[in-house]
Structure 1
Amino acid sequence: MLKLNYNRIALLACLFVSNAALAQGETVAQVELKDLRSSRTTVSYHPNKPTILMFYQPGCKWCKKQGETMARLQKQCSDSIHFTLVGDKGTRSELKRELRHFSDVLPALQNTDVFARQSGGIIGFPTTLVIDNNGEILVNNRGMMKDTIINRLANQLTQGLCSP
């Protein structure tokens, strides 16, 4: 238990140094969101592993850049971390069309007002959430996260199992 708390503190400290906006005890419920790549619905975070979730909007060049990093990590770390995109500020067809800029390995969902409120609101794009298995938001970061920060995050979340 002490090691888990130490790792969580280390993760939050490294993100704070990188100007990340930290969430304070917020949680999100398992909300079902529509999958943009199919007609299924799926939950917003994974109950068996941490989730790194990125909100994107049409035309967001920083979202596309961060999406490349997330796709690379998804290929390397999918056993340990769940990655997902959540489209916002566009119609379903606009959000689906925008997916051409993102890797097919990244699950893509459509945001709802309920999920946006539970997530602490989306002020800018990309907004990145790190969610633990219980839906607790560990990190709520507005703006593009540097590759080094996301890599460090993945490494910390998996206690060294995912070191790109």
Structure 2
Amino acid sequence: MDKRRIAQGAILLFIIGVLATFVIGIRAQGNAVGVGDEAVDFALEDMDGQLHQLSDYRGEIVVLNFFASWCKPCEAEAPELIAFHEEFADELIFFSIVKSETKRNVERFVERTGYEKPFLFDFDLTVSKSFGVVGQPETIIIDQNGVIREHIVGPVTRDVLAKKVSELQ
């Protein structure tokens, strides 16, 4: 009987924890910008410590891919992003935004995947939260006027990105 009560208590605590996480996630998204909204300006540093401010790229299409180095779907989509970036490098700005990780973790990711595209570091997740990014990978496309046109949750292909960007040109 005591083991049964302990098991029931543990299950109840687990369910409460899951619900609390869900509610906190929904509240955090309530303040986030979404498709059709003007993108929140931010400044993040790259691998070399140079700051990049989103507003500096006004007038250009900007693609932001939020990811984590340990994320298997992110690793699987890397060749698609490499192909996309190589094809469209002259037509838009592309950044991979690293969510709450060290530069060393990203260096290991580059060694594993060959993915060396521009990385920006969102160490405290402020930018991720402001765009409503809760998982990875997630990709946001911002038009020339600074308006969010797409928010893609999950892995994305070169073809999908190419189609979405071509619609904005």
Question: What TM-score does the superposition give when structure 1 sets the normalisation length?
Answer: 0.70
Matches within 5 A, 1:66-85: 66-85=77-96
Q: Quick one: which of 4, 27, 33 aligns to 2:38?
A: 27
More relative contact order, 1 or 2 (CA 8 Å, 6+ apart): 1
Of the two, which has the highest radius of gyration?
Answer: 2
Q: 1:5 corresponds to which residue?
A: none
Unaligned runs of 5+ in 2: 1-33
Q: 2:126 corresponds to which residue?
A: 114
Q: Quick one: which of 110, 118, 123 aligns to 1:99?
A: 110
Q: 1:128 corresponds to which residue?
A: 139
AA at the equivalent of 1:78: A
Q: CA deviation at 1:139?
A: 1.0
Q: 1:86 corresponds to which residue?
A: 97
AA at the equivalent of 1:70: L
CA distance in 2, matches of 1:107, 1:44: 14
Question: What TM-score does the superposition give when structure 2 sets the normalisation length?
Answer: 0.68
AA at the equivalent of 1:153: K
Q: 1:54 corresponds to which residue?
A: 65
CA distance in 1, matches of 2:35, 2:162: 22
Q: CA deviation at 1:102?
A: 4.5
The total of aligned residue pairs comes to 133
Are the counterparts in 2 of residues 132 and 138 from structure 1 also a CA contact under 8 Å?
yes
CA distance in 1, matches of 2:74, 2:158: 12
Is it true that 1:43 corresponds to 2:35 in the alignment? no
Q: 1:137 corresponds to which residue?
A: 148
CA distance in 2, matches of 1:94, 1:103: 13
Question: Over aligned residues, Cα RMSD in angstroms?
Answer: 2.1
Are the counterparts in 2 of residues 88 and 95 from structure 1 also a CA contact under 8 Å?
no
CA distance in 1, matches of 2:46, 2:148: 22
Identity %: 19
AA at the equivalent of 2:109: E
Q: 2:19 corresponds to which residue?
A: none
